[in-house]
Structure 1
């Protein structure tokens, strides 16, 4: 079923039209024939010229839909669909043919190694004089440029984002909420009588606060990389049950050594929920991730406040009940809560976008996958070990590590020592527990505000620098003032500067380290290394009640963070300008022809960094 025609037109030597029937072995399913056209391309200098020629000369018979424009090249073949974007570059020296396809139903071919970002695309390949046809369900252009959503998809997207925000975000945020409660409850337990009953020195308490990080950092990388293999709901829910049971066992602790063992195991269990940040990136493109990440991370501040309220309650009503001190009741309550909630997480938290089955319609499922692929947040990809070294050799990765390390150095010590810092103002234990809620409330507001500003402006580096400057002012107040009111204001300002930078820096790192392996490795290692550095932050707070050594060390780390963030900002700006200058170079075209973004990550010539 073929017909040959000769048509006049610039550079067109031959025009051949064929009807490929559904019975063709390359197709899985089809509802109607697909018309394709093969033309020579050596004289087409621009996409606009090629697209204009396509619209004027070739249309599928019986189909009034417009012919699309150039999408991308895959293995030397141009892919064209009905909803692509005008303006994608291509290298005419390596393109043997061009495909123009009418709108069809979705096809799938398992014969392609490359998962291609678009629906309704067809590949034509040359085999001597013959032409073979393969169809794929999705296509991702080698150029790395995203294909925008259609108007119908944008209307559907608004409803979809509401669903994501009311299903995935709350469930995932509660996982992090309970994790943060389990991490910082030792600070509340300390002034609730734990240090006196177990005869803990200041150094021993610092060790207890630090030992959590040992178990946490050792298992953080495998905990992140296993999210896809184990499944998010089972991994996160199982981890919640595990650390809940271990935390509840703290009620039986009667020595420094046994408490150290308990805290190591709590850290190991909580390491397996750190992949929640990575999982969140599957569902939201980068321009939406900072705000959602802020909502997610703001639960850390809420957890600190909730810890304060629980500690306030148990000290008021449960001190001495069942012959237990208040701090034992604190650990029991905070161990039982995540165990119960874990069943909801296991039952309702969706898997990766490609495997989602419930809550979403078919159109929404397709849109979820498309949004994920546009941002290169593909959760079905596999870890490629040889690419991990690319991350480790990238200076930008280490700058992100330095920013996160400086932030966690200060933040971990603040959350572990905040009740003790407030107690050092001369307040009672009950008042100190209650006033810690105010500090965390300030942090919560700052997280949401900073992330919103970051998303709206598209700026990450400047927001990080501004927040770090705010935190430095808070530490100066803590170091120089003696009045409780002024020092309390300093504590609030420190929290407002520190908490937002954790999520904004991780969002910045996620967009800087593009591609599944690069992003998974960077996200896990940045946190792991930062947790190791945070151990030294806990060790610096050994001089109560003013903790001047700890505050001074934290102020120095904040200054270091400002310097590194400023340097990274200039480095990324320089690399963006360099990529713009070299867009049409032979080297850039060679990379486009040989590699995808998953292969080379942020070195791809068409990927530009967020500043």
Structure 2
């Protein structure tokens, strides 16, 4: 820490006895000084000048968020560019008649869903900088090789392996955020890199518009060049991740020891009560795996996740075709997808900052899906393609209604799981089962129903309604648990309740601790 910054802050640990600082920790924080559980994250922050707090968090932001954003942008482009390739000649070259295109979309999600929980277990046992590097290289290689397929069967095989290799990244990235930031700092960061998913639609359309002009070079079709060039990018990036991606706060070389202590303590104590702490340094075990699978609230959160995944995957794979069938050329349809995704990105970021500011999740899940409901009802009611301008406008509401709730759902579950091993399993389970919605989403926009797509828009509408109901149920349940724990502490006293447990037992209880408070 520089002398300039040293002079700006109150000395951290100047009164070690008062703050309860001790060397080492029950959570094994690599010899860093940790604070006793009777303190809160706000008291940790109070030891620093707020300019210093913001400076430390900016250091983490600049190192972590852009990197995750670039990786997710590349991953999402590679999984969704098949929609652009379809109208760039792939449909004719590979004879994608009937349900063949839908099958190629569907096969991606089978390994994608099955591999996410094992991937996060590996992440906890292996360094993230190593594991994510391997994943990035592999999905880029598969994407590149997809550019040389010559048959429908080859496309299906390539999509299978693309799903296998991309599966681990998103649950790993969202989990990494939870070990660096407090619960009401996570969503805005997640939204910034998830916004890359919205941007990917814009980039994919713009890149496809340009790359499609390479048609015929080296005897390859324009759609093949889309796959090849957009696959080489993650291959190149993968070689830098080992050096650039930080694994965890305890070992971050770009932070000083005092900065590492600050990050570790403020995360450990940010549970909603001053009576306990959580840990990110726990070891993966079968008990945490079972706890993740047994929490019914994770399974309930799958419903709003499905609303996002069914709607989003079907929408991104079909919207270029929807716009083209409004009467526009293929090239113009590619370009006209860009504003839709940009609006979705901006809305997602605004909602995330708002949700963190008021420390709420479920109201934004409900509100986002309500916007989506309006968009889908309009698409069902408009006589396609008679009013292309009106139909195009409501595509913006569809994108906003599908993208905005997503980070709220993931963050809601992340905020309400502890310790970190249970969180890693629970988040991966949510994303794994949730992404199976992509199987449905890939098969509801039927070519025979173009340009109205009543099944696609109708199923997506129903899923949005179910997402609203599930969010309401979760809010009621988490509120009930918080009230019960508040009543226990008020009735028996914090010290009496704490005396029942050792520090290690409270850590192992995680979100089941009487001192843990759920996010609503």
Task: Give the TM-score taking structure 1 as reference length.
Answer: 0.76
Structure 2 equivalent of residue 318 of structure 1: 214
Identify the residue that residue 142 of structure 2 maps to in structure 1: 246
Q: Paired residue for 1:610?
A: 519
Shift of the alpha carbon at 1:424?
Answer: 2.1
Return the offset for 1:299: 0.6
| Residue of structure 2 equivalent to 1:574 | 480
Match of 1:438 in 2: 339
Can you list the C-alpha shifts for 1:388-421, whole angstroms capped at 9, x where unaligned? 3333333322221222122211111112222122
Structure having the higher strand fraction is: 1
Provide structure 2 residue ranges, at least 5 long, that are not aligned to the other structure. 1-11, 271-276
- 1:287 lines up with 2:184 in the alignment: yes
Residues 252, 260 of structure 2: 8 Å contact kept: yes
C-alpha change, 1:251 and 1:117, in structure 2 (3 Å) is closer
| Aligned partners of 1:240 and 1:339 also within 8 Å | yes
Contact (CA 8 Å) 1:471, 1:496: kept in 2 or not? Answer: yes
Please give the TM-score of this superposition, normalised by the length of structure 2.
Answer: 0.89
| CA shift in 2, pair 1:142/1:368, >3 Å | closer
Map 1:292-303; keep pairs closer than 5 Å: 292-303=189-200
SS in 2 for 1:368: helix
Root-mean-square deviation (Å) = 2.5
Structure 1 range deviating more: 341-350 or 545-554: 341-350
2:489 partner SS: coil
Match of 1:366 in 2: 261
CA distance change for structure 1 residues 348 and 118 in 2, over 3 Å: closer, same or farther? closer
**Matched residues in 1 for 2:290 and 2:490: separation?**
28
Q: C-alpha deviations, 1:25-51, integer Å up to 9, x for none?
A: xxxxxxxxxxxxxxxxxxxxxxxxxxx
Which among 449, 454, 462 is matched to residue 548 of structure 1? 454
Q: Does 1:594 align with 2:501?
A: yes
Deviation at 1:461, TM superposition (A): 0.4
**Aligned-residue offset at 1:584:** 4.5
Which consecutive residues of structure 1, in runs of 5 or more, have no partner in the other structure? 1-64, 69-79, 85-102, 120-135
Q: Does 1:264 align with 2:160?
A: yes
The 1:514/1:146 distance shift into structure 2, 3 A limit, reads farther
Q: Which moved more, 1:591-600 or 1:346-355?
A: 591-600
Partner of residue 383 from structure 1, selected from 284, 293, 301: 284
Aligned residues: 494
Per-residue CA distance 1:91-150 (angstroms, 9 max, x = gap): xxxxxxxxxxxx8xx644xxx7x337999xxxxxxxxxxxxxxxx942452899875333
Q: Paired residue for 1:398?
A: 299
Question: Which among 497, 500, 515 is matched to residue 419 of structure 2?
Answer: 515
Q: Distance in 2 between matches of 1:514 and 1:504?
A: 18
Question: How much does 1:591 deviate?
Answer: 6.9
C-alpha separation in 2, matches of 1:592 and 1:166:
42
1:518, CA displacement in angstroms?
2.0
1:562 aligns with 2:459: no
Cα distance between partner residues in 2 of 1:496 and 1:409: 14
Structure 1: how far apart are the matches of 2:339 and 2:359?
30
Say yes or no: does 1:502 pair with 2:502: no
User: Could you tell me how far 1:443 is from its partner in structure 2?
Assistant: 0.7
Give deviations 1:441-463, integer Å, cap 9, x for gaps. 11111111110110111110001
Between 1 and 2, higher relative CO (CA 8 Å, sep ≥ 6) is seen in 2
The 1-side partners of 2:348 and 2:188 are apart by 9
What is the aligned partner in structure 2 of residue 124 from structure 1?
none
Q: More displaced, 470-479 or 345-354?
A: 345-354
- Report Cα offsets for 1:322-370 as digits up to 9, x if no partner: 222110010011011111122222221111111212x222222222222
Please identify runs of 4+ aligned residues in structure 1 that moved more than 6 A.
65-68, 116-119, 142-146
Using the TM superposition, name which of 457-466 and 387-396 deviates more.
387-396
The match for 1:55 is none
Deviation per residue, 1:524-561 (Å, 9 max, x gap):
00000011132112111113232211110000000110
Q: Does residue 192 of the first structure (1) align with residue 88 of the second (2)?
A: yes
